[in-house]
Amino acid sequence: MSDSIKLAIHGGDPVRKTYLPYGKQWIDDEDIHSVIQTLQSDYLTTGPTIDQFEKRLADYVGAKYAVSFANGTAALHAASFVAGIEKGYEVITTPMTFAASANSILYNGGKPVFADIDPKTYNISPESVQSLINEKTKAIIPVDFTGQPCDYDQIIRCAEEYGLTIIEDAAHAFGAKYQEKRVGSISDMTIFSFHPVKHMTTGEGGVVTTNEQEFYKQLIQFRTHGITRESSKLLENHGPWYYEMQFLGYNYRMTDIQAALGLSQINKIDYFIERRKKYVNMYNEAFQLLREVETPSQLPGYDSSWHLYVIRLNLNQLTVDRKVIFEALQKENIGVNVHYIPVHYQPFYRGLGYEKGICPNAEQLYEKIITLPLFPAMSEQDVLDVIKAVQKVIKYYAK
């Protein structure tokens, strides 16, 4: 009999009768109406709604340009391509992220180099980045883990010193701010994801924002097979129908249906983030006296948009490991998760020669973290259920 089953027996009925996922979209009648309008229009893809969505999003984050993509991974792939990443180049990134951050480097023939994290913020360590730069380094892909921006003052100084491009993976950080500047306007390129568990959704979808016109033009071309109709770029011109495929791009276009949902969702984004912050404050207050749990740290001048709420277990204060705590919370119908398994642990990356031990801070963190449910469609009672379940499980297994 597992420890989590024994807990359910000793603790009686689970805290919740129904399962609460760690993340979930918010869809209302306005969203549905926006999509229906597009379905009834002349364009389902590559139409005017795409332009409207991109302009609205660029205005929100304070960037000159926004280019939409089919998903966040496609956006990362595109940004890596236009940054000139190719065989022979290295790109420094973090292992505490979803595999797409590093995969986008491999897609273009580059080599991911994993920098360690700051043990306080869980974000990439600028000092570790600095130590890994060499003549092959082409770019840095910092990840705004859980929604808290990285230390961009130091990262930008480092990039400028060595002539590196910064591709900010802000899949967790839509709506976040760093030193009063909105994420999306800070780095050379910033990518966002609009998967259903993110701050807002287009079903699947992603965007790259940038202030560089040349990046913008290449991103547009990359998402459409490398094809252009722009007369000033054509090598030949056979007539008004003529187009040229000038490099190997991909079909990474977002549909107008997705963009219509995004246009409706972005009108609610500030409300969504406000609710996330409210629930974070409830968690922080409830857990502040639990010596077995460390709550997330947010530094002055950093305004997280709180995609995830990650607790770190003080295992020396508990009688069991993280796996038992995780399973026990699931028995209470709390949809906990773990973000993330370090990328270099994955069998594919192990096959490329990456070994455990290269990022000790990230590896130690992985052994101790659990992600609790956090999304705007939660009710206050949902949050209280999570708090009750955590307190129940931690009390049961405390030394």
pLDDT per residue, tens digit, the chain (399 aa), is 355 445 553 557 999 999 999 999 999 999 999 999 999 999 999 999 999 999 999 999 999 999 999 999 999 999 999 999 999 999 999 999 999 999 999 999 999 999 999 999 999 999 999 999 999 999 999 999 999 999 999 999 999 999 999 999 999 999 999 999 999 999 999 999 999 999 999 999 999 999 999 999 999 999 999 999 999 999 999 999 999 999 999 999 999 999 999 999 999 999 999 999 999 999 999 999 999 999 999 999 999 999 999 999 999 999 999 999 999 999 999 999 999 999 999 999 999 999 999 999 999 999 999 999 999 999 999 999 999 999 999 999 999
What is the rounded CA–CA span in Å between residue 191 and residue 25?
A: 20
- CATH 3.40.640.10 range(s) for the chain read 29-266
Domain spanning 29-266, CATH architecture? 3-Layer(aba) Sandwich (3.40)
Output the pLDDT for position 1: 39
- CATH 3.90.1150.10 range(s) for the chain read 3-23+269-336+373-397
Q: Is the peptide bond before 340 cis (omega within 30 degrees of 0)?
A: yes
**Strands 369-372 and 309-313, sheet pairing:** antiparallel
What is the rounded CA–CA span in Å between residue 94 and residue 123?
A: 8
Output the pLDDT for position 12: 77
What is the rounded CA–CA span in Å between residue 230 and residue 250?
A: 18
193 token code pair: 């994801």
CATH topology (fold) of 3-23+269-336+373-397: Aspartate Aminotransferase, domain 1 (3.90.1150)
Whether 159 and 153 have beta carbons less than 8 Å apart is answered as: no
Strand partners, 210: 65, 189
Output the pLDDT for position 70: 98
Amino acid (1-letter code) at residue 3: D
Whether 186 and 153 have beta carbons less than 8 Å apart is answered as: no
Output the pLDDT for position 5: 47
Q: Which residues of 168-178 are buried (b: 16+ CB within 10 A; e: fewer)?
A: bbbbbbbbbbb
Output the pLDDT for position 9: 39
Whether 196 and 57 have beta carbons less than 8 Å apart is answered as: no
